[in-house]
Every structure is written in structure tokens, then in C-alpha cells.
């Protein structure tokens, strides 16, 4: 190899990537990499899979003497997570402000959209039912007159029995 040999401690790639991405994210969205990385700790694991912070919108100040106004945190989420975020918004605001170290966020704006890369739980693989289990299940639901309800209950029973070992 040509050139000077490397002298010094090796630097992790994540530190280099953070040093490059952090200023870009701050300029374009107002969010730091640390907030994105800590999002699951801030909102909890249940909500973290179906929502993410999009950006922080700071109000414009016409003059330097204007008083400080807190920003709006824009959160993208899927479906039912919007309702959970709305109910927990004051707690989320408090946690984000504690993470940032000052009262930066005043409210949350929720934007519903699909979250790319959201991890979905795979459906469990059900075992096949034995003939005896199928017969017992059919006998259990045979007294139900409505065919749609009977079929639904039979599928439910098959799922319950199939999930047992």
C-alpha cells in the first residue's frame, strides 16, 4: 500500500456514519440520529414498530427578540397506532423533551402513512388436526343454525386446537 501507514485508534463505522448523517438530518428534518435510534425507548416497543418521527417543525421567528416557541413533532404512523399516539401524546412529548434536554416540543402532529421496513410478526404455523379432533370440533358446532357463524367457529376451533402441541 502506498502512503503513510495508519496511526491511531480505529473508528467504528457507525460513528463515521452518524457524523455524516447527523448534520444532514438536522438541516432537512430537525431531528438528530440519536432521537431516531432511541425512538423505541421513547414510545415503547409496542408503538415503535408502527410509527416513526418524521421531522421537527420549528416556528419561524421574525426577529431575534421574539420569544421562544416550542416546535411540532411530526410522527408518521400506521392505522391504529395513530389512536395510541394521540392518547399518549403528552407522555411522548415529555419523554422527547427529556431526551432533548429542554422543552423543545409543544405538540405532536400525526401523519398516517405506511411505515417502510416495519417488522411484521409472522403467523405461527399450525399443526394439522387429527381425524378425532376434526370430528369432535364438527360435533361441537353442529347445533349452530347459521352456516356462516358455524364455519367461522369451526375455523376458530381449528386454529385453537392447531396451536396447541
What average pLDDT score do residues 107-115 get?
Answer: 90
Structure confidence at residue 28 (pLDDT): 55
Q: Is the pLDDT of residue 139 over 70?
A: yes
Structure confidence at residue 58 (pLDDT): 82
Residue 64 pLDDT class (50, 70, 90 cuts) = confident
Q: Is the pLDDT of residue 111 over 90?
A: yes
Average model confidence (pLDDT) across the chain: 82
Is residue 52 within 8 A of residue 92, CB to CB? The reply is: no
Q: Please provide residue 74's backbone torsions phi and psi, each rounded to the nearest 5 degrees.
A: -95, 125
- Other Cβ atoms within 10 Å of 8 Cβ, number: 5
Classify residue 40 as exposed, middle or buried by CB count within 10 Å of its CB (0-12, 13-18, 19+): middle
- The number of residues in the chain equals 165
Amino acid at each position: 500500500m502506498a502512503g503513510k501507514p495508519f496511526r491511531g485508534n480505529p473508528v467504528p463505522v457507525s460513528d463515521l456514519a452518524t457524523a455524516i448523517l447527523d448534520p444532514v438530518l438536522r438541516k432537512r428534518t430537525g431531528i438528530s440520529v440519536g432521537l431516531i435510534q432511541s425512538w423505541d425507548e421513547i414510545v415503547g416497543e409496542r408503538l415503535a414498530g408502527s410509527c416513526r418521527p418524521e421531522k421537527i417543525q420549528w416556528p419561524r421567528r421574525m426577529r431575534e427578540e421574539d420569544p421562544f416557541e416550542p416546535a411540532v413533532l411530526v410522527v408518521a404512523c400506521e392505522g391504529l397506532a395513530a389512536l395510541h399516539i394521540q392518547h399518549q401524546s403528552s407522555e411522548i412529548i415529555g419523554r422527547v423533551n427529556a431526551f432533548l434536554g429542554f422543552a423543545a416540543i409543544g405538540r405532536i402532529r400525526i401523519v398516517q402513512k405506511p411505515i417502510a421496513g416495519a417488522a411484521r410478526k409472522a403467523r405461527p404455523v399450525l399443526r394439522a388436526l387429527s381425524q378425532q379432533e376434526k370430528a369432535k370440533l364438527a360435533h361441537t358446532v353442529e347445533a349452530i343454525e347459521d352456516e356462516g357463524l358455524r364455519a367461522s367457529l369451526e375455523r376458530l376451533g381449528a386454529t385453537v386446537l392447531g396451536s396447541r402441541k
